[in-house]
Structure 1
């Protein structure tokens, strides 16, 4: 794989991961039991893509908590 293709793949992976977390934050706020299928659909990715980034619901929830914590910390620092 060329260096350019590798960089593009990583950018896509970062974009997908961010979209999954954004969708999870939106959905879980109003529906704490939202399914991974619903989160995948809201993120515009497949369920398989969600599992490629987060091997279980628990991993996804931990990433959501980490993002919320990071945002709160940044807001307090500002």
Structure 2
């Protein structure tokens, strides 16, 4: 798979990598992915999100505004 090749290249350059799979339409998997990264490295300094699938009218409205993930994104406790 492509992610394995990319991860191998990063590790080959003495970098650290953690491949985390999630479903952007399932907030639970997003929170689980964030928890996995935080558990391994203690936090998230930089996040590159390069996957999205929007249909029709663009991004869905979220009901997650009070979730820990949204608070993490905003930097507010």
- Which structure has more relative contact order (CA 8 Å, sep 6+)? It is 1
**Please, what TM-score do these two structures have when normalized by structure 2?**
0.29
Greater fraction of residues in helix: 1
